[in-house]
A and B are shown apart, each in its own frame.
Chain A
Amino acid sequence: MKFGIVTFPGSNCDYDAFHAVTDALGEEAQYLWHREHDLAGSDVIVLPGGFSYGDYLRAGAIARFSPIMQEVVAHAKRGGPVLAICNGFQIACEAGLLPGALLRNESLSFVAETVRLRVENPETMFTAGYEKGQLLRIPIAHGEGRYTADEETLTRLEGEGRVVFRYVGADGRPDPVANPNGSMHAVAGIVSEGGNVLGMMPHPERAVDPLLGSVDGLALFESLLARVSA
């Protein structure tokens, strides 16, 4: 299986994603420069973290107009998997692949720490390797991660099981202290209507090796592999 990792000017988690795919998962990965018009046979597209275009205007606002994004949107519309992490999540929202927006953290601080997530829906192509309610330790590193959408959108996301990951405390429940950025409904990750685009602020690619402090992100890549290569 081949992962295509999009590199925008200012991406900085593309190497981490490459490492997760090739070294931890043992699959093929290639970088796709944002000026390209071709996904070069990639089965899964990763929109990695970073600060594309310096977060000018709004995080992700400029990157969505990169030439490759047309191909990424077409891939998503065909049902192709897209894993959008951190800045990738911001870009996916700006590009209309996912509803809502990611605003400045409520604390106004950049937050870099390992958080606890609860798996809300294990029936997506990204989460089939997890159990419902399973708690994960995954790092975050962002200044603009406060998930915001109107009530109608939130109700719909909740009703359709599209809130995939939520920030929770040690007791496995959402609480204001455990919510690192003030996200509405403590949303950490959502999927698109078709279930083939996952946007999440936490970094599963940084939790694939005991040396990194957690291996809880690996099952996400394994879930994709099992589903896409099946």
Chain B
Amino acid sequence: MSNFRVAVHIVPRRGILDPQGTAVAHALQTLGFSGVADVKVGRHIVIDVAAPDREAANRSAREMCEKLLANPVTEDFEIATVEQS
């Protein structure tokens, strides 16, 4: 077994109203970032996990997202990085 650090991104699904993202987008536009078209606010979760290899760590994190970390009704997730630690 090796130790891995897995980072996952969880964001509101496209098409689902994200009032927090809208509020942040308006604030950015007010600050003069006129190119900002849309903002989604989500979560970044870092997990330290022991696994036989990188692929297994990735698979395990994916399962964690499906079962708990992301809500399958409203959110999408992606495994951002898997690094041996």
- Point out residues on A near B: beta carbons under 8 Å: 57-58, 61, 65, 93-94, 99-101, 103-108, 146, 148-150, 182
Contacts and interface: CB of A to CB of B under 8 A. Distances in A.
Contacts of B68: 57, 61, 65
B71 A108 contact: no
Interface in B4-27: 12, 16-17, 19-20, 23
A94 B20 CA distance: 21
B74 interface: yes
Contacts of B74: 101, 103, 148
Interface of B: 12, 16-17, 19-20, 23, 68-69, 71, 73-74
Nearest to B68: A61
Nearest to B23: A108
A108 B17 contact: no
Contacts of A61: 68, 71
> What 3 pairs between A and B have smallest CB-CB spacing?
A101-B73, A101-B74, A106-B19
A153 B43 CA distance: 26
A58 B12 CA distance: 12
Contacts of B19: 104-108, 182
A146 B71 CA distance: 15
Contacts of B20: 104, 108
B73 A149 contact: yes
A100 B73 CA distance: 6
Contact of B69 (A57, A107, A149): A57
B24 to A, nearest CB: 11
A185 to B, nearest CB: 13
Nearest to A94: B71
Contacts of A104: 19-20
Contacts of A58: 71
Contacts of A105: 19
A99 B74 CA distance: 12
B17 A106 contact: yes
Contacts of A182: 17, 19
A62 to B, nearest CB: 8
Contacts of B73: 93, 99-101, 148-150
Contacts of B17: 103, 106, 146, 148, 182
A150 B73 CA distance: 8
B76 to A, nearest CB: 13
Nearest to A153: B73
B27 to A, nearest CB: 12
Nearest to A101: B73
Contact of A101 (B23, B69, B71): B71
A95 B70 CA distance: 13
